[in-house]
Structure 1
Amino acid sequence: MRLRTTMALVASATTLAALGTAPAQAAEGANRLSGPSTGDPDVFLTYVGCDNLFGAAQPPQSRLNLGPYTAPMGRRSLGLVPAASGTASGPFTRFDSLASFDSTVAVASTSGSQGVSYVMSITPDNVPGTAWRGRAALSAPPGSWTTVSTAATAYDWTLVDLATLSPLGPAETATTAAFAAAHGDGAGFSIIGFGCDGSSFNIDEVRGSGSTFDFEGTTLATAVDVNRTSVDAGQSVSLTGRVTDPGGRVTGDPLVLESRRPGGEWGAVGDLVLGGPGGLARVDVPLTETTEFRWHRPESQYADEGWSEPVTVTVAEVPVAAEVATSK
C-alpha cells in the first residue's frame, strides 16, 4: 500500500497560491478505512522530509494492525514502516481558516517515534509570492497512544519566497491561532508526520477538515467448494477454500476446515491449511457418514475471522443383507 506524496501538490508557487480557495465540504461522521487511501482531497496521508518540507523523502510501507495497545477507535490502526530515517509520514489537511484550524492524529510506537509538523499559510500581511511556513518537532513516547493537535502545537514561523522557498526573515514562535491573531487569518495546509528516526509507528483517529478517519480491517469473503456431494462409505472428497477481498482478488489467507454431523457441533478437521496454487486451500477427507463442512478463516492483523457457508456431503447407506431362514 502506498501513500500519496505532497510534492506534486504543493512544491510549486502555483499550487501554494491556490491556498486562498476554500476546501470542499467533507462528509460528516467517521470514515472506516482499510488502507492508507482516504479518498478525500482535503485530508490524505503523505510523506515529507523531516528537515525540509520540500526536501527528499522516501515512501513508507503500510499495513493494518490489531492495536497496538488499545486502538483509539475500533480494534485496529494503520502501521507505517519508514524506509529510512529522515522522512515523516502522516496526514495532510487543507484548511481555509488558520485562526480556527485544528487537525489531530493519534500515534503509537512500541519504541517511541520522532516526528515533525508543518503548516503553510497565506495571510493578509504577506506580499504576493510569499507564504508563511511553520515547523514544530514532535515526539511520541512508547507505551501508549499520543494525540497530536496542530492547534495545541507551537510552531516556528518563517516567511518564505515561493519561487525559491528560501526564508525572508527571522523566525517567530506561536500557535496557529496566536499567529493568525498577529498576522491575519488565511488558508493553507498542515502535515503531521512521524518516523523521522526510522522507527515504525501506528496512527489512528485522524481528524481534519470536518472528517474523521478510523483504520479498521478489510472485509473478506470465504467460499467452499467440494468435488462431489455424494459418495459411498469409505470414499474421499476434496474440499477447497477460497478467500477473496472486496475486489474479488484471491488473498491466500490460511484456513481451518471444520465438520459436523448434520445438526451437531462444529469441530476442526486437522490443522491450519496454507494456500496452495492460486491461493486456494485444499484438503482430502475420507467419509463414513453424511457430513457438513465449512472453512473457518481465523482472525488476522488485517481482517476479522469469518466462515464459509456450509456444504453437505451425503454418504450412501450400505444395504443390510437380509437374513436367510433355513429349515431342516
Structure 2
Amino acid sequence: MSIRAGLGALVAVAAATALSVAPAHADNTVVVRGTAFPDARVQLSFVGCGSVYDRTDEALHPRIGHGPDLPPTGTRSLGYTLGGGNAIGAVVNVPSLVGAGTASVAVHAVEGARGVAYAGFQEAADGGTSAVWFGRAELTVTAGAWQDVEATGLSYVWTKYDATTGQVIARGPAAPVNVFDFLAAHGGDGPGLYSIGFGCDGRPFSMDAVRVGAPGSQTTYDLEGLSTATTMHGAQAVVKAGESVDLRGSLEVLGGIHVPHATLVLEQRVGDGQWWPVAVADAADPVVTVSPVQRSVYRWRFVDRPLAEGSESLPFVVEVEPAPVEPSPVEPSPVQPSDETSASPSP
C-alpha cells in the first residue's frame, strides 16, 4: 500500500485515523504474517525518494526469512531489493503528529542502505480541500547491524501538494524544520502520518519491529512468516489387513499467498512409537495410497521454511481388521481292519 494510494486524500485519512486508532493502555505486540498488516494504523508504504509522489513503477518481490542475525522481534524479517529511486517501508497513521511518541522501523542492510522519511499532515486552514503538507528527510543506516530508525524526531524540508494530482502548491523553508516548529507555524498539531522506507540506492535491506505510540501504550508490529494450516482427509477409517486406503491432505496459506514448490509429508505412527515419514506429495493435490497391516495413525505435515511457518494436520486413525483365518482341511484317517473281521473262518 503506497502513501499515494492509501493516503491520496490525507484529509479523509487523517479524520478517520482519529476515530480508528483506539487508545492503548499497555505496550503490546501484533504479529504480521508476510506483508498483510492487520489494521489501518500501519501499512506498507511505497514512495519516491526525490519526493513523495515521484515514484516509478517496478515489480516488488518481498523476501521473508529467518534473520538476518537475530531480528529485534520473533525469528523472521521482511526484505526487499529495489532498483533505486523508490523506497519501500512502513507508513504509520497517528492521531497527533507531535504527540505520536514513537514511529520507528528496525532496519538491517549488509552493505548499508539509503532511504527517505516523510511526515504528512493537513493544516486546519486547508480543511475541506486536497492540500496537504509533506516533509522529507533523507535516511542512512550503516552496514551489518539492526538499527532503529525513528521518524518523529527528524527535521524535514516541507512541501505542500495537491493530494489528488500530486502537484506542488507551495514550498516551505529551504532549511529543514522539525515537526513541532513547523506545525506550530501552520495551525498547530493534528492527525497525520510518518513514513520510513529504504531502497533508494538499490541495496538490499530487511526490516522488522515497526513501533508506534508513546511508552506504556506502544504497539510493536512483528514481521513474521506466512501462517499455514494443514488438514487430512481420509477415504475411510476401517480396512482389512492388506487393503488400500487413499489419504488426502490440503495446505492453506493464510492470506492466499502462493508458496513456491510447497510439499506435504505423510507420516505414520504405530502404537506408542514415533512418527515416521511415509511419502512426500505436491501440496497442490497431496494424496498417498497406503496399505497398513495393523492399526496406524497418519498425519500430513508442512515443514517449516523461511517463507512460511510449519503446520500439522490432526491425526487420522486407520483401524485394521484381522484377516479371517481359514480352517485347515482335515484329511480322513485310513480305516484299519478289526480283529473280528480279519479272523479266518473256521473250517
TM > 0.5 fold call: yes
2:3: which partner in 1?
6
Code of the residue aligned with 1:108 in structure 2: it is H
2:22: which partner in 1?
26
1:144: which partner in 2?
145
Code of the residue aligned with 1:284 in structure 2: it is T
Paired-residue identity, %: 30
TM-score when normalising by structure 1: 0.79
Change (3 A) 1:20 1:219: closer
Larger Rg: 2
Establish whether residue 135 from structure 1 lines up as the match of residue 136 from structure 2.
yes
Q: Please state how far the C-alpha of 1:309 moved relative to its aligned partner.
A: 1.6
What are the ranges of 5 or more consecutive residues in structure 1 without an aligned counterpart?
A: none
TM-score when normalising by structure 2: 0.75
Establish whether residue 294 from structure 1 lines up as the match of residue 291 from structure 2.
no
Distance 2:301 2:76 in 1: 21
Q: Please state how far the C-alpha of 1:9 moved relative to its aligned partner.
A: 5.3
Distance 1:306 1:18 in 2: 38
| Secondary structure in 2 matching 1:119 | strand
| Secondary structure in 2 matching 1:139 | strand
Contact 1:20/1:122 (CA < 8 Å) preserved in 2?
no
Distance 1:131 1:42 in 2: 19
Distance 2:75 2:240 in 1: 47
Q: Please state how far the C-alpha of 1:184 moved relative to its aligned partner.
A: 7.3
1:65: which partner in 2?
65
Q: 1:312 aligns with which of 289, 313, 317?
A: 317
Q: Please state how far the C-alpha of 1:181 moved relative to its aligned partner.
A: 6.8
Aligned residues: 316
Establish whether residue 172 from structure 1 lines up as the match of residue 167 from structure 2.
no
Code of the residue aligned with 2:75 in structure 1: it is R
Q: CA RMSD, aligned part only?
A: 3.6
1:226: which partner in 2?
234
Code of the residue aligned with 1:222 in structure 2: it is T
| Secondary structure in 2 matching 1:23 | helix
| Secondary structure in 1 matching 2:282 | coil
What are the ranges of 5 or more consecutive residues in structure 2 without an aligned counterpart?
A: 335-347
Change (3 A) 1:161 1:115: closer
Distance 2:105 2:327 in 1: 75
Distance 1:37 1:248 in 2: 10
Change (3 A) 1:267 1:17: closer
Code of the residue aligned with 1:269 in structure 2: it is V
